[in-house]
Structure 1
Amino acid sequence: MGKAYFALTFLVLLSIGNNSVQAQIKGYPPITATKNGTINPFSPDPIINYTWANPKATDGLESYQLHPVNYTVSDSRSFNTDDFKKNEVIVVNGEGYIRFDFGQTNAGWVEFDSPDLTGKVEMSISEYNQTPNYPSNYPTKTLTPKKLGNTYRLELNPDLYEGVRFAWIHVRSFSKSWRITGVRVVCQTRPVNYNGSFSCSDTTLTRIWYTGAYTVKLNLLKDYLGAILMNRGDRFSWTGDAHPSQAASMVAFGNYDFVKKNIDYTSTQSNGIRSYALYWVLSLIDYYKYTGDTATLKKYIDNASAKLDDAYKVYGTNPNLEFFGWDERLGSGFEHPNLPEPQNAYKMVSIRAWKEFSEVMNVYGRKDLRDKYLSYATEKISDLKKNAAWYQDFGLHAGADAVSTGFLNSNEKKAIYEKSFTDKVNRISYSPFNQYFVIQAFALMNKYDDALSSIRDLWGGQIKYGGTTFFEDYRPSWNAVVSKNGPVPNNQCGFTSLCHPWGAGATKWLSEEVLGIKPTSPGFSTFDILPHLGRTLTNVSGKTPTPRGVISASFDVSTGLSNVSIPVGTLGRIGIPKVEKTIMSIKINGVLAWNGRSRALQTFDGASEDAQFVYFTGVKPGNYQIVTTYKGKSPRYSELAEVYPAKFIGIDSITSGNWGKVYGKDGYVLCNYNGDGKDKKSLPSYVTGVNYYKVKGNSLPLNVVWRTNTNDSRALSPDAANSFPRTAACLFAMDADQIGYTFTSTIDIKGTKDFKVSLYFVDWDNKGRKIAVEMFDAASSKLIAPVKIVENCLGGAYLTYSYNKSVKFRINMVRGDNAVLSGVFFDPN
């Protein structure tokens, strides 16, 4: 009889100030915050309504407890849960498991209470709704809990905490009934307050802002901004990763002292990644703009200069970049780090960093460094522009970084936009980290509707999946093949993290570009409020913390009502958005301030207009109610359609190894059929080669022959006659380094030729494999088909596509020991 599954949902319970042993270990005392207001429905943070009196960077971690929001049992006969909702009591009557959902990803450890446990019990945690099944050479997420009196705690590392959304109690053996009397996750947190806020007419964007903030908050560790990764070896602050993380932290929390601490922590560690050294410089610039902290800037001038000088030294030499991002177009992480696209992107980031540091040095008063780094930037961009088509080979990432230099004219930006930013699929970078720079470029090209569309696709898609934090990488097409909160593909980044603070850049972007609040001089002594609502938003409101106090603003272009609050010690420029309407008049605090021309008021210096805004400059501290009278309507935004050049034809789980007369009419490759990595193949005339690549050691994937001389029909036949006996064989990827769990197969085609290609997968040794397949154009590395997952290939399964050019497939592990490939077949289209 199969297992039956039963679930119950109930309200989350929060325990604050618990003085028990559970909350008083490893330096995590109960939180000292006080409850203030109600939970924000758009935030996944269960303690967003708790406030600390005076949080500081020197504070230690504190703790709070959460109880499950729902649970599922494997068999109701083994678990009597009648009394759980009221008293948290579960009576265990047999073997099986209970899965608890704590409602959102948390940074903590899991424990349960039992006064009378008997038999063998294990516990597991996961970010998704199945237990992790990482290979045995990686730290397990399933262990026998440590007994502490009547408490049983899952201790997976010396610091205890991990990223926890789901937890399991596995009853492995049973002798007599016993009771579970309490289950909880003990969460760690740094004292930090939400001094910033964001809301708009699109609740998805509002959720994105708060989800990004919560992602950063979970990763504010004791001494630095790091990661609560589930199964990774890089639990420390990566210099480049910290750039969007710190940016989001400043607009959400205003915890400048902690950001300063992390800048110091990362100042001498670029982890061998040249681009990360430049992102550190951009982080220093960001921090200075937001805080006006001249002492910290002065402290790091020499450090920043050394990084910038190094970039100048290697500019144009095609340096070893090591890493520029996980995106296929950037070299797939550490696989192909020196492709033209990342090399071009690095040049653009260098020019941007030189230019922006020059501007900061001008304000600081170091005219020598202002001139030096401006000369670096102008020299290199001038050299490039001697060729009118200097940017024609730039893809999405290099194009975005080029726009962000601030040196492009309107024709150059238009060409880059049309080339790389109008493809709804491929204007999305694989990693939210890299997409942060893409949406910055969208804003600089005044393409806010397109930027918001891409944000909804990338960051909104993660929320639709069920995410409560943002991921290390993500493709929107995952949602069609991955169940809600289900296991996601593990790819060239290794085991995908579902709580990665580098993905929080959208939070800062929404505050700066949609709400529109950003400094124009260090420490917000002057600032802009220029909201960009585009054609899809009707209102926006929020707050940005500054060293001089909170700046708050709200704009509603449907009612014309706006409110702005400016703290003492600042002067602002406020833009009243036209949103492609005509502004007839503007009243400030009941007094006419604009009716086509400026009306003198003591609260501001002057007013002007352009196509986007009516600007009020030199706006003095105070509270302003603004009433705008509009005429006309904003045009509708035409959302682009997703277009995939290749066609996915389908999955065949019937044919098994009997490919003859069904597949391979033009040719075939039987992977490793002859052993030692040697394929048995007959290629069509239009195919010049089928090649494989595995990242570890820049080598071929591994290979295995499972069985020779077999009559098992799952094994591929040796010929189109479906003959026996057969060989069961495959290529696979597996390594001590987790990024070695993926491999690619590239099919080289002569020119263009319509053809069908089918990939054969078989889970011969019954490892419960699920395999994700990505399809790219081999020349451009653009994604040309939605990601597909082979859910079950125990009996063999074919995935079939049609295309007309050279193609690259990436084979990724989702579940099981590894990903495998056993055959490639070609047919006329």
Structure 2
Amino acid sequence: MKRRIVFPALLVLFSLCLSAQKATWIWYPGDFEISLANKMQNRRTERGTFFPVFWKMDNHYVLMDFHKVFQLDQPEKVSLFVEGEYNVKLDGKAFEGSPSEITVPAGKHKINIKVFNQAQVPAIFVKGNKVVSDSTWLVTFEDKEWIDETGKTSDISATEWLKAGSWNFNSPQQKPSAFALPVRRQSAVSNQKAKGAMLVDFGKETLGFIELHGLSGKGNLSVYYGESKEEALSTEHCEALDRKAVDFSSKTNYRFPLSKAFRFVNIQYDNGVNLDSVSMLYEYADLKERGGFKCNDAEVNRIYDISKYTFELNTREFFIDGIKRDRWIWSGDAYQSYLMNYYLYFDRPTVERTMLALRGKDPVTGHINTIMDYTFYWFIGIYDYYLYTGDLTFIQQFYPRMQSLMDYCLSRRNKYGLLEGLPGDWLFIDWAAGLSKKGELSFEQLLFCRSLETMALCAGITGDEKGKDEYAKLAADLKEKIFSLYWNPAKNALVHSRIDGKQTDNVTRYSNMFSIFFNYFNESQKQSVKNSVLLNDSIQKITTPYMRFYELEALCAMGEQDYVMKEMKSYWGGMLKLGATSFWEEYNPDKKGEEHYAMYGRQFGKSLCHAWGASPIYLLGRYYLGVQPTSPGYATYSIQPVLGGLQWMEGKVPTASGDISVYCDKKKIRISTVKGVGTLKLKSKIKPAGKNIQVKAVSKETYEISLNPDSTYEISYQAL
């Protein structure tokens, strides 16, 4: 392979140019994310009424100290842009006033900028040649410095400095406080007019701002939004509406201030009001699709495409639950979105923003979203984030917030060392009729155990060896308790709960399927659980895409891709047959007509576009294309393609260093690799063959092939 040679003089010039391009707005890590979440989550309305969240909301620190040391070969002028009141110091000496430009002499110098802003997140943008603001600056919300009676500033401090937070605000004009998602205009596909009314269909589920064109006259106008036609026409029961008192002497265009989710809008207005037409501004997160999947089955392709669109709609400033009703950041919903993201966008900033917004700040006064299991999904999300991205910074910066949240969980254990619902705790698990939440639930203990394992991993990363040992021991002890207290050999499964120190008879799918892909079961237990629980119709069925995600993952992890493909086509395909243009919060094929729209005791309470409905993105990438990291950041990874009843499939899986491409049919496999060392695992009736490969026979008809970085392979084999 040819190596590119860069001469030293050119390298210096290139470095200076590159440095000059790196300036970005910076802030205290987590503060912009928390502030943005506050703005977004408090936009929720229910039939025009403000509807705030149920949990504690935090805010940004109002006083911030930024600093960095620079070594300059020559003096340079530096421009300063600041959100807030500020002062600037060079080597400890303050400039007069609040200058917008300073000159930094040649040599080694320390720049401090201290900013106060009560209304917005304190942030700075510094642009010189080498002196630029970026994530290498250090920040603190309390510098803990003092001046003694002689005027000497303390030279020893307990200040804790973190690396600055940033995103993509790369020009002085892109102020973080002014951030808004981009929009683009979309037209309706049909428009039915009647006297004083207009029913507009945009053709599919969407989200944005309704704009009225040629509005004039005087009177009242109402807009009733619907994910279905029935909802839009139900002026008494639709979930979202807008009203406008019209008083325009000439034709005017008017845009409603809050974005809404809808397919249909029903506009009704008084006789004195005139309206020409309606359009919308589609609001979206500008992320690039990197992953993809395509196969010979048109229905599966359609399921994948609608999954992508569902996920696109629910990927916004953060990963949210659904676009119509809540538009809140729910940790259980977000956790699944992280996994889908790793197979479609591989966008790290949205994952980080979502995790930071969910965690908030100390003190911890309750579980995340008030839900015990949602706290544990937050920890497990960090485990997966490190595995997929290899990024250490998030863990290093926010390990203290992980510790304090885990301390809260540990403090709520009962005399058996287990967790059960206490006053203020919501135990969610899933929407399922009659699902008991009494006693000590095996499902909660499983998530708790995985969270302790995450803490042990993160303690090791941050150098907290004592914490690493303590968390690992707590996890091992809890895992042992789970199997001694909940495993029932007669039922070949973990029971759902214990009450008053005794096992209940109830067996549910949740803890059993999680134990499979957590790899907590031995092989014998996995097979027993597959037959006694997952493939047993007498066990209460799951009707939400939320838990279908995990049920089908557990089956895929046991090699049941043929069965899962049929279930995917039946379940998600069932929604498509009912006209779904995005996937729903809940789907029960036994329901009829408008029953499909009802939930929470409301006629149109169900979300018809819910993030957890997009799980085929993950399932097809992870268990059919078969790509997964086996060490952090895809330093090593495996590819284990399984057709699962398909004739052929192809797709891409994004990683931090590029996209892995896979094509597979019954006789050949083509792969393009990225950095890192891969292992192709496949089952074949014959020994696989191809150029520049070494084939290792693992067992009968099972083979492994090492994959080099940045290489392409074409391998012949014969599928079983």
Query: Shorter-chain TM-score: what band?
Result: 0.5 to 0.7
1 CA distance for matches of 2:334 and 2:188?
Answer: 31
Tell me how far 1:167 sits from its aligned partner: 1.8
TM-score between the two structures when normalised by the length of structure 1 = 0.57
1:565 counterpart = 2:672: yes
**2:636 corresponds to 1:526:** yes
Q: Which residue identity does 2:446 align to in structure 1?
A: M
1:512 corresponding residue in structure 2? 622
1:625 aligns with 2:719: no
Identify if the C-alpha distance between structure 1 residues 240 and 538 changes in structure 2 by more than 3 Å, giving closer, same or farther.
Answer: same
Where does the alignment leave 5 or more consecutive residues of structure 2 unmatched?
1-38, 40-166, 170-175, 361-366, 496-505
Specify the code of the residue in structure 1 equivalent to 2:243: L
For 1:325 and 1:571, locate their aligned partners in 2 and report how far apart those are by CA, in whole Å: 37
Could you give the per-residue CA deviations for residues 179-227 of structure 1, whole angstroms, max 9, x where no partner exists?
73x43221111211101111223333333333333223223333x2335
Residues 121 and 169, structure 1, Cα contact 8 Å, conserved in 2? yes
The answer on whether the counterparts of 1:163 and 1:228 sit within 8 Å (CA) in structure 2 is: no
Q: Does 1:328 align with 2:463?
A: no
Q: Matched residues in 2 for 1:253 and 1:427: separation?
A: 35
Matching residue of 1:112: 212
CA drift of 1:147 comes to 7.1
Superposed CA offset, 1:205-259 (max 9, x none): 333333333223223333x2335543x4x43212222101122122211111221
Task: State the alpha-carbon separation in 2 of the partners of residues 363 and 207 from structure 1.
Answer: 42
Where does residue 576 of structure 1 map in the other structure?
682
Distance (whole Å) between structure 2 residues aligned to residue 524 and residue 242 of structure 1? 22
Deviation at 1:114, TM superposition (A): 2.7
CA offsets per residue over residues 403-441 of structure 1, 9 Å max, x none? 233221233223322232124696752322222222222
Structure 1 Cα separation of the partners of residues 701 and 168 of structure 2: 40
What CA deviation, in whole Å up to 9, does each residue of 1:495-554 have, x standing for no partner? 1111222333332222111111111111111111112223x2222211111111111111
* Superposition map of 1:197-596 within 5 A: 197-222=292-317, 224-227=318-321, 229-230=323-324, 232=325, 234-268=326-360, 270-313=368-411, 314=413, 315-320=417-422, 321-328=425-432, 331=435, 337-338=437-438, 343-355=441-453, 357-358=455-456, 368-386=466-484, 389=488, 391-392=494-495, 393-423=506-536, 428-478=541-591, 481-482=592-593, 488-491=597-600, 495-534=605-644, 536-557=645-666, 560-567=667-674, 569-578=675-684, 582=685, 584-588=686-690, 591=691
8 Å Cα contact 1:99-1:169 kept in structure 2: yes
Q: CA deviation at 1:466?
A: 1.9
Q: Describe the shift of the 1:184–1:290 C-alpha distance in structure 2 as closer, same or farther (beyond 3 A).
A: same
Q: State the alpha-carbon separation in 2 of the partners of residues 487 and 98 from structure 1.
A: 25
Amino acid at match of 1:563: R
| 2:182 is the alignment partner of 1:70 | no
User: Structure 1: any 5+ residue segments left out of the alignment?
Assistant: 1-26, 28-54, 74-78, 80-93, 592-600, 635-829
Measured at CA, do residues 228 and 475 of structure 1 come closer, stay the same or move farther in structure 2, by a change above 3 Å?
closer
Task: Output the CA distance in 1 between the equivalents of 2:322 and 2:312.
Answer: 11
User: Alpha-carbon deviation of 1:362?
Assistant: 6.0
In the other structure, the counterpart of 2:290 is 195
- For the residue of structure 2 that corresponds to 1:378, the secondary structure is helix
> Is residue 571–residue 619 contact of structure 1 (8 Å, CA) maintained in 2?
yes
- CA distance 1:266–1:520, shift in 2 (3 Å): same
Distance 1:136 1:328, change over 3 A: same
Q: Which amino acid aligns with 1:550?
A: D
SS at match of 2:529: helix
Deviation per CA, 1:571-605: give whole Å up to 9, x if none: 11112344xxx1x24332xx3xxxxxxxxx4x56x
| CA offset digits 1:624-682 (Å, max 9, x no partner) | 2222245xxx5xxxxxxxxxxxxxxxxxxxxxxxxxxxxxxxxxxxxxxxxxxxxxxxx
Change (3 A) 1:258 1:345: same
| 1:312–1:376 CA contact under 8 A, matched in 2 | no
- Aligned position for 2:9: none
2:513 touches 2:550 (CA, 8 Å); kept in 1? Answer: yes
Aligned AA (2:646): L
Query: What is the CA–CA distance in structure 2 between the aligned matches of 1:96 and 1:136, rounded to whole Å?
Result: 18
Work out the percentage of aligned pairs sharing the same amino acid.
20
1:555 deviates by 0.6
Deviations 1:322-379 (A, max 9, x none): 1324422574xxxx64366xx1211122223334554566677765444433322322
* Alpha-carbon distance change, 310 to 204 in structure 1, aligned in 2, over 3 angstroms: farther
CA contact (8 A) 2:389 2:633 kept: yes
The corresponding residue for 2:173 is none
Aligned residues: 519
Give CA deviations for 1:594-619 in whole Å, capped at 9, x if unaligned: xxxxxxx4x56x52334674211253
Contact 1:278 1:307 in 2 (8 A): no
Question: 2:215, 2:253 within 8 Å by CA — same for their partners in 1?
Answer: no
Q: CA deviation at 1:152?
A: 5.0
Counterpart CA distance in 2 for 1:386 and 1:227 is: 36
Do 1:439 and 1:451's aligned partners in 2 also have CA atoms closer than 8 Å? yes
Call closer, same or farther: CA 1:252–1:427 in 2, change over 3 Å: farther
* 2:211 counterpart SS class: strand
Read off the aligned partner of 2:713 and give its amino acid letter.
Answer: Y
Q: 1:522 to 1:135 in 2, by over 3 A?
A: same
* Alpha-carbon contact 1:322-1:337 (below 8 Å) kept: no
Deviates more, 1:146-155 or 1:508-517: 146-155
1:563–1:623 Cα contact (<8 Å) kept: yes
Q: How far, CA to CA, are the matches of 1:110 and 1:147 in structure 2? A: 18
For 2:227 and 2:235, the matched residues in 1 are separated by 17
Q: Which amino acid aligns with 1:259?
A: V
Compute the RMSD of aligned alpha carbons.
Answer: 3.5
Q: Name the CA shift for 1:618/1:358 in 2 (closer, same or farther; >3 Å).
A: farther
Once residues 443 and 137 of structure 1 are traced to their aligned partners in structure 2, the CA distance between those partners, rounded to angstroms, is 41
SS at match of 1:254: coil
Question: What are the residue-to-residue correspondences of 1:740-779 with 2, within 5 Å?
Answer: none
Aligned residue for 1:61, secondary structure, equals: coil
Do the aligned partners of residues 510 and 136 (structure 1) sit closer, same or farther apart at CA in structure 2, a change above 3 Å counting? same
Relative distance call for 1:518 and 1:357 in structure 2 (3 A) is farther
Name 1:102's counterpart in structure 2: 202
CA distance in 2 between partners of 1:574 and 1:194 (Å) = 25
